Structure 1
């Protein structure tokens, strides 16, 4: 494959924007009607479901695709052994720290909301760290005694990090042929070929394993899907040709992606079951076409608009990992505390959002990035005296 290891500002920027979208999405989960979440507001909206549906079909595939792209750069720079050691440090340490310190308040406020426990965080922690099962429906993960909640992304990413190392050896062996194939990529191949494996997963793996279980073990449909997107990201940044093609297709995609979502809504919300021949198969194809076309749209416009050295990008690239780890705990805690004041469906979510953003900003800026131990616990590179750390996507935690 072509060794395309020059700086990709668009990948940096898309990573920041994808995690920013994740923060907004989790805020929306508190207010969308009929969808379960850790702590729900009393102000819930049914129309919000459409906006949430539009995003949730491709938000996590985008994160895994970007992580695959970052992995390509990091492997090319470090080699397999150093790459593995760095990723273990960047993923395992924040995951363990998050489970023990960052996530427990979410479980506490969820258990309080469900009326399972009495107020008292220290008493909750005393029982939480026995890792014994709780009463049913106490909080997400209570059946096993603890939870990683929104940090589930890290163990899944760790699995794909381990899997990509032997795959990279295979790709290196057949690199010239694969690079030539990518260089001759046609529009129909980029638009439609990925739908074949995704549709096969939906046909054969989803009926056996269902949707994501957030537990890693036995989640084979999820692993197949997310590792495929991870691999797509790894392959796409290895060659310039697909990106030139994406830029040429950007206006087509800007029309095609919303049309795919309209078809998605038609099958999901309007049509009754089995009223047309082959409806279940057609619906599967529409689901994955919608997902893939939105991903391509984001990548195409990201590459066209964001592949430049914005002044805000180095700081945001470093900040995004601590913000990801912190944000949901702040959101849940803020919502739980504000619910009792009945501020209304505009003021309450606005305040929860502001508290989340200001909390993440303050904790990262004034504490995490200035304390060497906390930099390690939040997956950041150690500061080198007299040297500004590189902030390419290959050097970041997720």
Structure 2
């Protein structure tokens, strides 16, 4: 079995930066699609909801957040080389918890308000709603909006507390990961080659799915979301182990075509089984195909990304600093666009196109014209403050706050 090779000291992992930005762009597209996909609950639903969207959305949904958590783990692998437990907790707490609190108080409330009004359980008038929402003095009607039972909600920002929890867990156990036993686990994982790399990482994910999914369905409740925690923490650790190793990345690049063929075969078989069996297929078969496709899709994306994206793209510097504010802003902008455009009855083609344009345009305008330019706003969106005397871009490790670290191996 080949031993892993450490990354050289020169060069930045541009492919990780690029994949991070593209992954969060997919999150925006996915959330626009959630407004239109039939029979899937979301904050608001379109009268143009379509059943045919379910499979395209499912094909994306199976791996989209798993990829995001794996990339975050990769970035933590870079950062943890130079920081101890206290430094990691201090720096990551500020970069994740502060935007979460700000988002729950300022960005997310309009989503809850629009959902509550649409459900007929909240009276029109955003000002009155916001006062009640922030005071948390009076309980909301049941099912007024997602998270109403807690008084406040984080909606799409759930990723931030999950990411902080996993980061804190790794930070608090750094002595374990740096011990001979921890290093042995890392070396064994990074030494996987060929079929082992495409199949063995699936086994823990299948086990979590079979054992936990029937009893703990996804809730995005940080305390009781045991199934999603098991899946996301596992792929987060995969990324953390992979971080600075070059051998496993070269192998993923070498296997990229094979993993693509196998991923297509896995999702094709899953669709055929689900459609042909009409709900009577054995649960284990569905779980196995779904989890296998998830890992093969991630391996394909990482392999092709390492092959084609690992270069200093002109847009990458801007994207690295913009991805966090876009993530914080995008879903509220989607809801605002829906509320404005739905009464115009523009139809199932023009309306989603305008919602997507309004969302991307709003993210771009607010981020570039406001968030990145106002020093006191920057930390509220996960960015570091710029020095007053310079207009230079922040250092590399500050351009990718959702990544938790620079992907430069220095």
TM superposition score category, shorter chain reference: over 0.9
1:69 partner SS: helix
Deviation at 1:115? 1.5
- CA-to-aligned-CA distance 1:236-288 (integer Å, 9 cap, x gap): 1231111111111111112111111112212333214556xxx3322221111
TM-score by length of 1: 0.94
Q: Tell me the residue number matched to 1:320.
A: 323
- Alpha-carbon distance in structure 2 between the residues aligned to 1:113 and 1:180: 53
- State whether residues 37 and 49 of structure 2, in contact with CA within 8 Å, keep that contact through their aligned partners in structure 1: yes
Aligned-pair Cα RMSD in Å: 1.9
Q: Aligned pair 1:65/2:77, yes or no?
A: no
Deviation at 1:62? 0.5
Deviation at 1:391? 3.0
Q: Aligned pair 1:111/2:148, yes or no?
A: no
Deviation at 1:395? 4.8
Equivalent of 2:193 in 186, 195, 219: 186
Q: Aligned pair 1:121/2:137, yes or no?
A: no
Equivalent of 1:263 in 269, 278, 283: 269
- CA-to-aligned-CA distance 1:48-83 (integer Å, 9 cap, x gap): 111101100000101100110111112123333222
- Alpha-carbon distance in structure 2 between the residues aligned to 1:315 and 1:27: 23
Q: Aligned pair 1:19/2:24, yes or no?
A: yes
What pairs with 1:1-398 in structure 2 (closer than 5 Å)? 3-4=6-7, 6-131=11-136, 132-174=138-180, 177-178=184-185, 180-182=187-189, 184-210=191-217, 212-272=218-278, 279-384=282-387, 385-386=389-390, 387-392=392-397, 395-398=400-403
- State whether residues 18 and 59 of structure 1, in contact with CA within 8 Å, keep that contact through their aligned partners in structure 2: yes
User: In the comparison of the two structures, how many residue pairs are matched?
Assistant: 394
Change (3 A) 1:62 1:393: farther
2:215 partner SS: helix
- Extract unaligned runs of 5+ from structure 2: 404-410
- State whether residues 140 and 148 of structure 2, in contact with CA within 8 Å, keep that contact through their aligned partners in structure 1: yes
- State whether residues 270 and 286 of structure 2, in contact with CA within 8 Å, keep that contact through their aligned partners in structure 1: yes
2:348 partner SS: coil
Deviation at 1:3? 4.9
- CA-to-aligned-CA distance 1:190-224 (integer Å, 9 cap, x gap): 111112111111221222222x2111012111111
Structure 1 moving runs of 4+ over 6 Å = none
TM-score by length of 2: 0.91
